[in-house]
Structure 1
Amino acid sequence: MLLDAVTYNSSIKTSEAPSVSELKEREALRALQNGDTEKFVILYDLYMEKIYRYLFFRLHHKELAEDLTSQTFLQAYSKIHQYDSTKGAFGAWLYRVARNLMIDEIRRKKPTDNIDQHFDLKDDTNIETETDRTLNSEAVQKLMETLPLDARELLTLRLWDELSYAEIAAVTGKNEGALKMQFSRLVKKLQETAPAILLALLIINI
């Protein structure tokens, strides 16, 4: 079953040794702690595409997602001294920076409106990279647009970015158990309404 595939796919890495990217991240964070700010570029290379994807799938607007991605890394660079590894993973901290910037931007532009109304802005500009073309495929776009804002966020963070439930809880401020239940219900719903697209999402993630 697809649900079994999702469960397997999202938990398979829990017992593996640290990946190359994880080792690079640790090395960069150690260097930054010692004052070597040039190593921040390693973190940028590791997370830039993930942060952009997270913002794009929530906003459906290429230029705004690009701008907020840049702002995320500028703010992270200036506040890297505030990151405390004892309080959570760097990735969760970085996603939280991106999330807060996105919410602030929407509130600034439409302070009296419901924020959720402005996450479906369209952008007809052609997206250049292969990854972006995949993310911008008509089928995936239509699927994401049918989902509530919090479901889009959970699907992106859990499937594509492979964050643990603890990390997603740190990003969103939600209860870990509630997130697990929400994800299970979301996958079951997609199995019933869009099984082919759900399978495609899993393939993209492999």
Structure 2
Amino acid sequence: MRLNEDPAAFEAFYRRHIDPVMRFVVRRVTDPHLAADLTADIFLAAMDSARTYRSDRGSETAWLYGIARNVVNAQFRRSVREAQVTSRVEGRRLMDEDDLERMEERIDAERQMRGALEAMKGLPEGERAVLELVAVDQLSVAEAAGALGIRRVTARVRLHRARRALQDVASPSAVFMEERA
């Protein structure tokens, strides 16, 4: 079968089988929208697997009903999984106003951090490394200098340059402006 290659062949195939396939589906599904979706899925699956059809193993109708059975059964399995997930969550407190407020604060903080990290990409490697260690990883300047194998004075100079460069960029996060001793 060349359903996926020949639009006329697919149209003829569809017209021959749409009514029986729709009857098959509506006997198993009560929602008309779901029935229409599943019927469309069945014909899409038939197009995708048309090259595997072998007439010596049965009629095209039997082959199509096998596809229909698989599509409908897959939908039932999805419905059961969704119902199980819903039942696990039912009756539980998901999020109250305080939780939502804290979540919004975290999102805002992360948005600022992403902007600041993006601005850091434009810094020279040495300045960015010191700034990352001090501002993101919360090391002291002395610890950052030790981690990078540079003198403390060099780390302070690089940190100062990085902060000055970031001040020229649209309001970086205050985290990058703080310094631990």
Task: Give the shorter-chain TM-score range.
Answer: 0.3 to 0.5
Larger radius of gyration: 2
Greater relative contact order, per chain length (Cα 8 Å cut-off, separation 6+): 1
Q: TM-score scaled to structure 1, two decimals?
A: 0.37
